[in-house]
Copies of this chain bind each other. A is one copy, B any other.
Amino acid sequence: MLLVNTDIIDVFLHPKSVAVIGASKKLIKGGFRIATNLITNNFKGKVHLINPNAEGKLYNLEFKKSILDVEDDVEIAIFYVPNRFIPDILKDCIKKGVKGAIIEASGFEEVGEKGIELKNKIIEITENFSKIRIVGPNCMGLSTIDGDSDGEEREGFFSGFGVFNNFKRGNIAIISQSGMLNGGYLMHVMTKYPNLGFRYACSIGNKMDLSEIEFLEYLIKDNTVNVIAIYLESFKNSRKFIELCRKVRSMPNKTIILLRGGITPQGQKATLSHTGSLAENSRLIKGIIKQSGVIYANSFYELFQFARTFSIIYETGKILPKKGNVSFVAGSGGAGTITADLTMKYGLNYPILGNKAYDALVDVFPDWMPPNRFAFIDIWPAMEKAMMNQVRPDVVTTHVYKTLLSEPNIEGIFNMMFCSRQFRAMNDVDQIIDNVKHSSKPTFFWLVGEDKEVRRVSKLLGKHNLPDFPSLEEMVKNFSILVQESNNKF
């Protein structure tokens, strides 16, 4: 029975039973890590360990010599063996009725002739992938997160060899031709932002059979996913890719972010030796990106940063800004100036305040330093006035935030927080969180001050799904992609 594409992806991402081919008891081996990831993260399907050279048990599971020795059905086989062993094992998998194979080994198109021979052999054995479907080769496996690692319902399916101990279920899915993105980099992001959740991480490698197209089709239909972050080194089917991306543009709760590697001639030399992707015309690539209407990222860092921003927006039900009208609350005129320059660079602006909002601000500012008529609020003079009048600083900030959040012409707020242990009272983060967290307008933060205090405040903000950025430029840029996306939508 031939499964339609989205059905087979469902089997790959939610298998009822898997076999780890190349499972090992040796701690240094990838086959050990994969088995460990499955067992310790409460993968709910059945797990079978296959290794002709291994004896005894691991996690109370017996090693089998061959997949043919397994009595139960096996849906997915995870291959962690050198490339030369793959054809014979694939034959066994087909005999066994395995539906899909995840092949992690490298050594295919990217190494030239010998690798292409191996690929052709696999095409022959699988009768052009009609007998078994393949993810990879040269990949880091597929991951599905069902329950947070620190919760009672901890559950994850991690078929790569990375170390996955800390994770949170969320609304982001990754499709990537760089295994590192689904491995080391994902670990980095998940440990750096403990409140940031992921749903799937799909490492598609050389995409010998299944590609970004099938995964994208599946993720578009999956309601648990709001953000799809994609890294590609080639387009398998650019017409179809554009069509799928356009479909997402009519979906109010879904955003695609794309990074394309190998845009330049130097990058293309590198892709050839990486995923065996052949050079495409740079202008053609840029045309495809433009037609797809996706949010484009320029680096891994931006890809995840943008994914995080959209994840939070969807998670908290914020309204995407349409005009780019933003207010900046800061205790620094210099930061206000630089941000003003940056807002212009990224198509945003500080709007003129309505009379009601302006008058409300005048109330808390001193006569010698009235507020600006436009939406850059240097809050320092208002703080000084409060101190002189024995008024608590949070009374001022609450007043300012209420005023700005109820000003119809403002779509979001930037906030500079000065973080210092000794000055906590002046920048009471808990109170600022209370002021902004229930608003439908996105609020972004930029933190300066003592590094330790910056990290403490960042963590607190993160817990409430309020993002902070390490630079003013990133804060402005991340707001600008929201404006871009809201204007992207049909």
**A interface residue numbers (CB < 8 A to B):** 28, 83, 106-107, 110-111, 114, 163, 176-181, 184-185, 187-188, 191-192, 231, 233, 259, 261-267, 269-271, 273-275, 298-302, 331-345, 349-350, 368-369, 372, 374, 376, 378, 381, 387, 418, 420, 422-423, 447-452, 454, 470-474
The contact sample of 18 A-B pairs, CB cut-off 8 A, is A28-B387, A111-B368, A178-B333, A178-B335, A179-B332, A180-B332, A184-B332, A187-B448, A192-B451, A233-B337, A262-B340, A267-B344, A269-B372, A270-B372, A274-B334, A274-B336, A275-B333, A299-B471
| Residues B191 and A450 in contact, CB atoms below 8 Å apart | yes
Q: Which of B231, B350, B448 contacts A188 (CB 8 A)?
A: B448
Interface of A is mostly: helix
Report the Cα distance A412→B262, complex, angstroms: 22
| Residues B450 and A187 in contact, CB atoms below 8 Å apart | yes
Determine which residue in A263, A302, A471 has the highest number of CB atoms from chain B within 10 A of its CB, and name it.
A471
Report the Cα distance A263→B342, complex, angstroms: 10
Which 9 residue pairs of A and B lie closest in terms of their CB atoms, listed nearest first? A178-B334, A274-B333, A301-B471, A180-B332, A267-B341, A191-B451, A261-B337, A264-B344, A267-B340
How near does chain B come to A331, taking the closest CB pair, in angstroms?
7
Copies in the complex: 2
Report the Cα distance A387→B27, complex, angstroms: 13
Report the Cα distance A233→B111, complex, angstroms: 55
Q: A274-B334, A368-B111 are in contact. Are A180 and B261 (CB under 8 A)?
A: no
Q: Which of B114, B163, B420 contacts A450 (CB 8 A)?
A: B163
Determine which residue in A266, A349, A378, A471 has the highest number of CB atoms from chain B within 10 A of its CB, and name it.
A266
How near does chain B come to A231, taking the closest CB pair, in angstroms?
7
Report the Cα distance A180→B163, complex, angstroms: 41
Q: A187-B450, A472-B299, A472-B300 are in contact. Are A179 and B334 (CB under 8 A)?
A: yes
How near does chain B come to A139, taking the closest CB pair, in angstroms?
11
Q: Which residues of B sit under 8 angstroms from A302, Cβ to Cβ? A: 471, 473
Q: Which residues of B sit under 8 angstroms from A423, Cβ to Cβ? A: 163
Q: A107-B368, A179-B332, A378-B273 are in contact. Are A299 and B187 (CB under 8 A)?
A: no
